[in-house]
Amino acid sequence: MSRGGVGSGSATIVLVFAILSLTIFSLISYTSAGTDKTQTVAELRLLEGYYDADALAVCILEEILSAGAAPEAAHGVGISLVSSSEYEAVMFTCPISELKELHVEAVFYEDAYEIIKWKMRDTSAHEIDGSLPVWTG
């Protein structure tokens, strides 16, 4: 006598497919989580470096303000004077990471200072040769 319906072979195929699908999705999730962790750690290091550079820059500005004149260096950071038609300012950079720095320009008055620039910028060398790679076919 033959019975109708789904046999045990079909159920086994569906079960194997489900297990295989779940395994593939778990591997994709694991890989994605590892990538996210790597990016998060890199962003955390950059953020920590920025706040360390920010605190160092504030200390340098306060030191210049209390001294009444800009020294050539403070806290291991070189300080230079910048003159323009509008103002005379001090300029220095604080390292954030190997590829970033905090660039600061400030104008000093008798008992205060005004920040002109407070900007994170790249320190990596960029070579511009003026050409664009175009596919010619």
Write the pLDDT tens digit of every residue in 8-49.
788 899 999 999 999 999 999 999 999 999 999 999 999 999
CA angle, residues 91, 81, 126, in degrees to nearest 5? 50
pTM above 0.75, yes or no: no
For 85-122, give one letter per residue: b (16+ CB within 10 A) or e.
Answer: eeeebbbbbbebbeebbbbbbbebeeeeeeebeeebee
CA pair distance 134, 137, nearest whole angstrom: 9
